[in-house]
Structure 1
Amino acid sequence: MDERRATVLQAVVENFIESAQPVGSAAVLELTRLDVSPATVRNDLAALEAGGYLMQPHTSAGRVPTEAGYRYFVDGLGPGSLDNTEVRQVRAFFAHAQGQIEELLADTSRLLSDLTEYAAMVVAPRHDRDSIRSAQLVDLGGGRLLVVLVMSSGVVERTYVDVYNNRELADAAQGPTAGAASAILAEALVGRTRSQPPTVPETGDAATDALVAAALAALADDQSHPGELYVGGTAKITEQFEAVSSLRSVLSVLEEQLMVVTLLRSLVDRGLSVAIGSETGMKPLADCSVVVAPYEVDGRTVGSVGLLGPTRMDYSKALAAVHTVSRRLSASLGDGDVAHALGDGDVAQAPVGISPSVPQ
């Protein structure tokens, strides 16, 4: 593709993103100020269509971008940026963010959606790679126990142990036996990951050993949990799609937590910042694009943040927002000192296109 046709393609993509209407030669000339005739532009549009970058919805209409056209456009984008008001909004959010990590991630999804008007997704840290910092068995009363694990990423996992139907265990849970079982669990689990089976020697006390076994069984049953997903701005996605069928498909996907978590993790593992249409590998998202970036704790990728919108999304803005928020979130989870961890340039600028590598 020569420079002039690349300019024509860029004009078509940018105009279609803004107007959602097919773009003709007259609009291209007005946008690009190219010193060529309308006939030359029409020839360029025809050549771009033949090359698979544009398509014509119907005869005598202008052109609209194809997936290949969007991909060429996205790969050629320079660093995106947020405006000054948005930069201040992000700074203020992380400067005042408080509460548990679950609340922070939920609020972060809403922040990202507010910045872009797309549906935002935040995947909580991957528990299978985190080590356990502390473990405690808590008696809730009424024959219910709670195993509380604090992971190295800061995530708090809670697993219920129901001993209501076992009279001996229910009685043992009320008193010092629960405390003894809690101490044994802590010794066995701390320093390990959820995927590493602990070795727990028997104590000789039947009630204590039974409580420990019940807690470990509950943890094993709960280990297949796909990880928490926080979605913000679902209502805003309704404004982005004219076709009701497309909207229904998108909303159905957002309701499937495991499906979305798997998608975002797959894109991060593949080193992709943007997946367009069929690149997502999901038929219901054929008319959508996903922009994603990982976030880190202690230099290790633990989760991801992303945006879901139509293929005609504002990619420059979406990429800048996702990368800025992911960096700020990494700093916030890492040491709580966001202002020290990132300079002004990191907030305003963000890499775009395909990431060359993703830290593991």
Structure 2
Amino acid sequence: MTNERRMSVLRAVIEDYIRTHEPVGSAALTRGHDLGVSSATVRNDMAALEDEGYLIQPHTSAGRIPTEKGYRYFVDKLATVVPLSKAQKRGIRSFLSGSVNLDDTLRRSARLLAQITGQVAVVASPSLARSALRHLEMVPVSSATILVVVITDTGRVEQRTIIAAERPGDDTLSRISAKINTACTGRSLRRAGNDIRMFAGDESSPINRSLLEALARVCDELATQEQSSNLYMAGTSQLTHRQVVDMNVIAPLFDALEEQAVIMRLMTALSEVTQSHGVGIAIGSETHTPGLMNASVVTSGYGQSTADDDGGSGQPSGTAEPVAFIGSIGPTHMDYATTISAVRAVAKYLTEFMANEENSPDDDSTD
């Protein structure tokens, strides 16, 4: 589309439809927007936009509504994103600072995002595959059982037990733990497992070698957990209590939300592809999910993995990646500017919370 005036008409139609959820006519556009042309000219532009697939006319002699193609053009050309208010920023900080642990933080983040957008919010807990080892501890439980506690840089705490034919002494356990923590802190769990397996070759004692090999298997197991099973969701009640509810849209959306594995794959992939304004956006058929054909998804990665992982190449990647995603799901006529702003802001504060920042900077350029 090269006609600037026509682009302005399309933007005005979408803005009005997002606000009213009613088909938009040329007369209303002329009254409500400074388009600089007559109602007849606007009507001609709307007809051209319909021919080009950006608008449709749901009923004869009714106004027009945007198509998926229209929404995509609107989102891609969205010039500004509404900044969150100071009260909303304080609300984010308050919600996160009042958390007792990581799971509570993620649950609170989902509730907060749902309140801001009036849509369904989804937050995934960090992926162990993208986490770095922060600390490993071995705790003797019995003469043959050792509890292995693995703490990651994302705050996840995993516990596994090792059954040993003969348990090493406490001094040996302390020495091995210290060696692993010194050499492997900051490395991905996969690489930590490989390093621990190499340490086993340096041990002369069969008992110690067996222990190190068991520890390597623990790291391998954790590293293969590509996605966390924890998915925090909030906002279904907000969506159903909106003034205008189209059950033809909402019912399939709720069915899709029941398929958490599908939602997990969709939003993980989307959060890894940054589009407009630093978020990933899928509209209708772009979700490739039957229940979301009349819905849009806005998502962002959060957290930054510091894992030193060579990806199998032998050289550390040195690239920080998000550890999980946060996103909003709603009808295609959602308020994209506000939703983008909210998703981005909550992801930012969540990232800073996980990095143990005491105060989040008030920077409107990223909110």
> In the alignment, which residue of structure 2 is the partner of 1:259?
262
Q: TM-score, normalised by structure 2?
A: 0.77
Once the two structures are overlaid, the 10-residue window that deviates more, 208-217 or 154-163, is 208-217
Alpha-carbon displacement from aligned partner over 1:307-338 (angstroms, at most 9, x marks no partner):
11111111111111112222222223224232
Verify the 8 A CA contact 2:256 2:290 in the aligned structure 1. Answer: no
> In the alignment, which residue of structure 1 is the partner of 2:240?
238
Flag structure 2 segments of 5+ consecutive residues without an equivalent: 307-318
> In the alignment, which residue of structure 2 is the partner of 1:353?
none
2:85 is equivalent to residue 83 of structure 1: yes
Structure 1 residue 66 displacement after superposition: 0.8
Give distance in 2, aligned partners of 1:222 and 1:30.
Answer: 60
Alpha-carbon displacement from aligned partner over 1:18-44 (angstroms, at most 9, x marks no partner):
222222222222221445443322211
Verify the 8 A CA contact 2:200 2:212 in the aligned structure 1. Answer: no
Give distance in 1, aligned partners of 2:137 and 2:252.
Answer: 42
> In the alignment, which residue of structure 2 is the partner of 1:187?
179
Structure 1 residue 50 displacement after superposition: 0.7
Structure 1 residue 188 displacement after superposition: 4.2
Candidates 325, 329, 338, aligned match of 1:308 = 329
Once the two structures are overlaid, the 10-residue window that deviates more, 135-144 or 195-204, is 135-144
Give distance in 2, aligned partners of 1:111 and 1:250.
Answer: 20
Change (3 A) 1:104 1:62: same
| Partner SS for 1:305 | strand
Give distance in 1, aligned partners of 2:172 and 2:355.
Answer: 33
Give distance in 1, aligned partners of 2:4 and 2:259.
Answer: 43
Structure 1 residue 14 displacement after superposition: 1.5
Change (3 A) 1:306 1:244: same
How many residues in Structure 1 have an aligned counterpart in Structure 2? 336
- Kindly report the root-mean-square deviation, in angstroms, between the aligned alpha carbons of the 2 structures: 3.3
Identity level (%): 32
Superposed, 1:2-13 pairs within 5 Å as 2-13=3-14
> In the alignment, which residue of structure 1 is the partner of 2:315?
none
Structure 1 residue 201 displacement after superposition: 1.9
Residue identity matched to 1:343? D
Verify the 8 A CA contact 1:110 1:120 in the aligned structure 2. Answer: yes
Q: TM-score, normalised by structure 1?
A: 0.79
Change (3 A) 1:5 1:125: same
Structure 1 residue 86 displacement after superposition: 1.6
Candidates 296, 316, 329, aligned match of 1:289 = 296
Alpha-carbon displacement from aligned partner over 1:202-252 (angstroms, at most 9, x marks no partner):
767666665655554454344332124332324334346845464344334
2:32 is equivalent to residue 25 of structure 1: no
Give distance in 2, aligned partners of 1:311 and 1:286.
Answer: 9
Give distance in 1, aligned partners of 2:64 and 2:142.
Answer: 67
Verify the 8 A CA contact 2:326 2:343 in the aligned structure 1. Answer: yes
Structure 1 residue 79 displacement after superposition: 3.0
Residue identity matched to 1:291? V
Change (3 A) 1:216 1:161: farther
2:52 is equivalent to residue 51 of structure 1: yes
Change (3 A) 1:200 1:185: farther
> In the alignment, which residue of structure 2 is the partner of 1:356?
none
Give distance in 2, aligned partners of 1:97 and 1:130.
Answer: 24
Verify the 8 A CA contact 1:159 1:218 in the aligned structure 2. Answer: no
Candidates 352, 359, 362, aligned match of 1:338 = 359
Verify the 8 A CA contact 2:249 2:331 in the aligned structure 1. Answer: no
Structure 1 residue 162 displacement after superposition: 7.6
Residue identity matched to 1:195? R
Give distance in 1, aligned partners of 2:42 and 2:139.
Answer: 72
